[in-house]
């Protein structure tokens, strides 16, 4: 296995982990309303 293939494969695993983490957050109610975030960002 060459380094390019390894890095590409690990990148796919990392992306899949982020998706799974996000889905788990949704299931556990660990989210913030988008309008709330937008209002906080524009205040600063």
Q: Residue-wise pLDDT tens for the chain (44 aa)?
A: 899 999 999 999 999 999 999 999 999 999 999 999 999 999 87
pTM above 0.75, yes or no: no
Q: Are 31 and 25 in contact (CB under 8 A)?
A: yes
pLDDT at 39: 94
Say what the alpha-carbon torsion angle 5, 19, 35, 29 is, to the nearest 10 degrees: -160
Which residue range forms the structural domain that includes residue 22? Answer: 3-43
| The pLDDT of residue 44 | 72
Number of domains in the chain: 1
Place of tokens 């799974």: 20
Give per-residue burial for 26-35: e unless 16+ CB within 10 Å, then b: eeeeeeeeee
- Give the pLDDT of residue 1: 80
* pLDDT score of 34: 93
């Amino acid at each position: 296995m060459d380094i390019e293939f390894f890095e590409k494969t690990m990148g796919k695993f990392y992306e899949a982990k982020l998706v799974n983490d996000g889905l788990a957050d949704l299931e556990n109610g660990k989210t913030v309303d988008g309008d709330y975030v937008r209002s906080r960002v524009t205040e600063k």
